[in-house]
Chains A and B, each alone.
Chain A
Amino acid sequence: GENVEQHPSTLSVQEGDSAVIKCTYSDSASNYFPWYKQELGKRPQLIIDIRSNVGEKKDQRIAVTLNKTAKHFSLHITETQPEDSAVYFCAASNTNAGKSTFGDGTTLTVKP
């Protein structure tokens, strides 16, 4: 089955700096890669996703890149703000299989 590794497990940055979270996956059949943000005590919510036919996607301060050959994808947050502090999960999904495999999460802390 699919195995997703996520790094780092914790990340602390100063407000205004950039943050990068990286994930690798094992199943070459995975073709959809969502990122979820989970604030303390809340549910995971989708913030951005990328499909296997796209190399990069951007939404305001958030961007995701995908390298299918190397089987890794990354989340980039620019101009971080304290409200970006949360746990971020990457996931890899094979739409034929119907399920996503999640990484272990990265706790991002943005210090004001």
Chain B
Amino acid sequence: DAGVIQSPRHEVTEMGQEVTLRCKPISGHDYLFWYRQTMMRGLELLIYFNNNVPIDDSGMPEDRFSAKMPNASFSTLKIQPSEPRDSAVYFCASSLHGGRVWETQYFGPGTRLLVL
């Protein structure tokens, strides 16, 4: 398996623009997580899905952030409109719940977002 795939790897945009980050989880994994990482706030869980259904979005900072998972192999995180304080590395992670695999999360390479 290729692991968790994220695109784009780097994004530079201007304040007010819409940003869409994409994630393809590991095939067969039933949980998908979106994290944001900054020096000031560390690793923050934004939202996570189980079997494509959002379970907890309490970490989403504002209504400008939205996430979808239309199927088991694809998820998006959208920021509209973007602001400079959204600049961060956004990680997607997936895991397989239950059975003999206990919540090991596999992280994607991250998307480094810079909002000017």
Contacts and interface: CB of A to CB of B under 8 A. Distances in A.
A98 B55 contact: yes
B43 A99 contact: no
Contacts, number: 49
A93 to B, nearest CB: 4
B105 A34 contact: yes
A5 to B, nearest CB: 12
Interface stretch (A17-25, A41-49, A63-71, A74-82): A41-49
- A-side interface mostly: strand
- Which 9 A-B pairs rank lowest in CB-CB distance, beginning with the nearest? A43-B107, A93-B103, A32-B102, A104-B42, A32-B103, A102-B43, A44-B107, A46-B104, A99-B48
6 contacts: A32-B102, A44-B91, A46-B104, A89-B43, A99-B45, A102-B42
